[in-house]
Amino acid sequence: MKQFTALYVALNETNKTTVKVEALARYFAAASDEDAAWALYFLTGRRLRLAVPTKRLRGWAIEQAGLSEWLFGECYDAVGDLSETIALVLPPPERKQDRSLAAWVERIQELQVAESARQRQIVTEAWLSLDETDRFVWNKLLLGGFRVGVSQQLVLRGLAQAYRVEASQLAERLMGQWQPSAEAFRALVSPDPSDTRPHLRPYPFCLAHPLEGDAASLGQLDHWMAEWKWDGIRAQLVRRDRRMALWSRGEENLTERFPELDPLIARIPDGTVLDGELLPWLDDAPLPFTSLQTRINRKALTRSILRRVPVVFLAYDLIESGGIDVRDRPFRWRRDELERLILSCAVPVLRISPRVTAASWQDLASLRRSSRARGAEGLVLKHADSVYAAGRVRGVWWKWKVEPWTVDAVLTAAQRGSGRRASLYTDYTFSVWDNGQLVPLAKAYSGLSDDEIRQVDAWIRRHMREKFGPVRTVDPELVFELAFEGIQRSTRHKSGLAVRFPRILRWRRDKTADQADSLDAVRAMLSAQTHSDPSSTTGSTIREGRLFER
């Protein structure tokens, strides 16, 4: 456990990629196969099922520490992280136990089947045999909130360096429902180059980079192929061994959640893998993503929901054909083969993402501005000769999204962040005006620099009003420009609206609260989003991404 804790600390103490990769490589080279398997499991974002309710853990910690409820609450409020708070308030360990990471994971797994009394015994014994830092990391694993500042790609680079295996090969072997064990880890890092792809495992996804500058800088237009960027669930449809599976980019098997795709088993040839988008689709047009969420969040799929929110698989790449990996073929070849395949299948739930053609970059930019009216987020540009690379490879695919909607809103509440920002107020609630009152519109926590975060945190502490659990209302004075990708009506929000992917663009120090936007202005954006004419790139009241200043 101490090795894993030391790795966690090392990764948290630096922002340098090379230092993180070296720390990962050292750990994997020294750890046992079983410990390395579990470390890889947690570092790549996987987590164990929550075995003990948070409220119960909190109660046990309060009793073990000999604190009152209110004093523990104050400590938690100051620290901002439950795992860390528990680790800090508990007494020093009575007897230290230097168990392996795998052994401590076994204790967590035992909790999942134990009665409450046995659960308490296991947890308190663990707390009293681990020092403060080890206890903190174990709490993170126990509560399912283990996060550290490394991407899966970075973790695989460290693992590749330790075992001298290509990171891309590791990424492929890790795809799907990989389960940690010593045997699985040895198979993962085996130098044998042969592909041991079992049954329905998907491939690593190829990801697009955001295009920030002028698209014309990419060179000749005829070297690129354009498609709409859809707002759905990125997925791979895998057809092998007379079976089929649908995998999300997060490596979740979605097959049972979308039964209307079952007819594809009989239509798609064996040994086929398609990359595409799962979209809610009705009357030959995409529905808003929020309608798809109504299906994702349901435990049982009724006939009513299947009728109201039907889905299609919109394919845009062919990455396995006839059981052969074709990712190294040029995109133009894969696209042509994909079109032939979709035509031969002739199933309504399987469609192809249409190509977007234009005579010039300028004409393509005009088409891009009509994206929202078509239910898309913009365009994806793919080099005609590009291979299907694993991960985000610069220069292969570009996502050229439409400019976001933006609004000036007032900061009205805040709460502390988590992890490294647990002691700072970084999670903000923003409001807009409605009939002389400020109404909450969105919550956002990204977009400010570290220096701006510290300044806002200091201001919040001086201007607090009321306390609602971890949330603090503040004097309505600071104005920020927010960006978001879309707007939908919502009965769950006081404003009657829900915005998608809100983030902070800038701190509007030049504006006072009374100059912030109104709810009517945001409703006008919704109206423009809903009723825009695809043939028109601008309107009389809308400029791309924002209403004109009042």
Q: Report the catalytic residues.
A: 229
**Could you say which DSSP state residue 368 is in?**
H
**Cα→Cα distances 28→8, 189, 191, 509, Å:** 13, 11, 15, 48
Could you tell me the sign of the dihedral formed by the alpha carbons of 536, 540, 543, 546, in that order? negative
Cα 285–291–293 angle (5° rounding)?
A: 130
* C-beta of residue 67 within 8 angstroms of C-beta of residue 89: yes
The owner of tokens 């090392």 is: 10
Q: Cα separation of 502 and 494, whole Å?
A: 17
Is the four-CA dihedral 348, 352, 358, 362 of positive or negative sign? Answer: positive
DSSP output for 427-450: EEEEEEEETTEEEEEEEE--S--H
Residue pair 457/401 in contact by the 8 Å Cβ criterion: no
Antiparallel, parallel or unpaired: β 206-207 and 391-392: parallel
Please spell the DSSP secondary structure of 286-319, one letter per residue. EPPHHHHHHHHT-SS--HHHHHHS-EEEEEEEEE
Q: Tokens 């910690």 belong to which residue?
A: 61
Contacts of 319 (CB under 8 A, 6+ apart): 203, 236, 273, 274, 275, 325, 326, 327, 334, 388
Full DSSP string of 482-498: EEESEEEE-SSSTTSEE
Nearest to 44 by CA among 142, 133, 171: 171
Are 273 and 316 contacting, i.e. CB atoms less than 8 angstroms apart?
Answer: no
Strands (E), 393-548: 397-401, 405-416, 425-434, 437-444, 464-468, 471-474, 479-484, 486-489, 497-500, 503-507, 542-543, 546-547
**Nearby residues of 113 by Cβ (< 8 Å), 6 or more positions away:** none
Q: What is the CA radius of gyration of the chain?
A: 26
CB atoms within 10 A of CB 242: 8
What is the per-residue DSSP string for 84-125?
HHHHHHSPPPSS-----HHHHHHHHHHHTTS-HHHHHHHHHH
* CB-count exposure of residue 66 (10 Å: 0-12, 13-18, 19+): exposed
| Contact of 306 with 281, CB cutoff 8 Å | no
